[in-house]
Amino acid sequence: MSVDLYLNGLLNLLLENPDRTPAATRVAESLVAERRYRWVGLYEVTAADIGLIACTGTTPPAFPRFPISKGLCGSAVALSSIVNAGNVQADPRWLATFGSTRSEIIVPVLTIDGKVVGLIDVESDLLNAFSADDEQFLSRCAPLLLPLFESSPTLRVPNSANSVLEPFPSELFQSFALSLFHFRTPGPQPILYYKFLCTALQSQCAPVQETPRPLRLHRQRLPEPHGRSHRPSPRS
């Protein structure tokens, strides 16, 4: 599957799963299925620590929550950039998730002002498992996952055709700026993208009801066919 098609499916997945934890779990499972990764975890980043919100498999990581300064995840937060470790057991920053892990890649989810609010963590039991292609793929996925790391535990889509959104905080423009930059597939995707924006913004923006405006129909007089008239003939 092409990356663009996968991103389209990722948007659908988020729309179909409005609750945060199930949505995050489905995203992690989707990444594993698409790229055959061994393990994927999604972490939220707070001012003090990094905490797991969802992952694949049945075995939890050794440290589901840890200080923001620890591990390769902590380095990704501090640098606000991707950390791709080809041999974690030789890296002093590594905080063991699983003893069998050999390589790990962490991709941050950023707001428009560069604040790290989430992390995509992928691990492998092979050395040097992650290439530049993996970095690019996960970097394109990351902006679409921003709603998972907003303060609201529920992703909501406006349920009224007459709802409009009030002005929203600048950091929420991440959903528009970065996603629009990374998501450029033609076709029906603009509709899905619009719904995704509604999902992202509705979590923090209260809808206000707009009074429906009457629809005005503008009649346009069509030219009459040559030699004929549509006007009724006067009666004799």
Tens digit of each residue's pLDDT (9 = 90 or more) over 163-203: 333 333 444 444 444 444 444 444 434 444 544 555 444 44
Whether 49 is in a domain gets the answer yes
Indicate which CATH number applies to the domain containing 44. 3.30.450.40
Whether 226 is in a domain gets the answer no
For residue 211, what pLDDT is reported?
A: 43
> Per-residue DSSP letters for the chain?
--HHHHHHHHHHHHHH--BHHHHHHHHHHHHHHHH--SEEEEEEE-SSEEEEEEESSSSPPS-SEEETTSHHHHHHHHHTS-EEES-GGG-TT---SSTT--EEEEEEEE-TTS-EEEEEEEEESSTT---HHHHHHHHHHGGGGGGGGSS-SB------TTEEEPP--GGGGHHHHHHHHH----SSHHHHHHHHHHHHHHTTS-EEEPPPPPPPP---PPPPPTT---SPPPP-
For residue 101, what pLDDT is reported?
A: 95
The mean pLDDT of 51-63, rounded to a whole number, is 93
Number of domains the chain contains: 1
Mean pLDDT estimate for the chain: 76
Neighbours of 22 (CB within 10 A): 12
Whether 38 is in a domain gets the answer yes
Whether 159 is in a domain gets the answer yes
Confidence of residue 105 (pLDDT cuts 50, 70, 90): very high
Whether 134 is in a domain gets the answer yes
Q: Name the token pair of 25.
A: 């779990």
Range of the domain at 15: 3-205
Whether 228 is in a domain gets the answer no
pTM of the full structure: 0.68
Whether 220 is in a domain gets the answer no
Confidence of residue 102 (pLDDT cuts 50, 70, 90): very high
Whether 216 is in a domain gets the answer no
% of the chain exceeding 70 in pLDDT: 64
Is the predicted pLDDT of residue 217 greater than 50, yes or no? no
Is the predicted pLDDT of residue 108 greater than 90, yes or no? yes
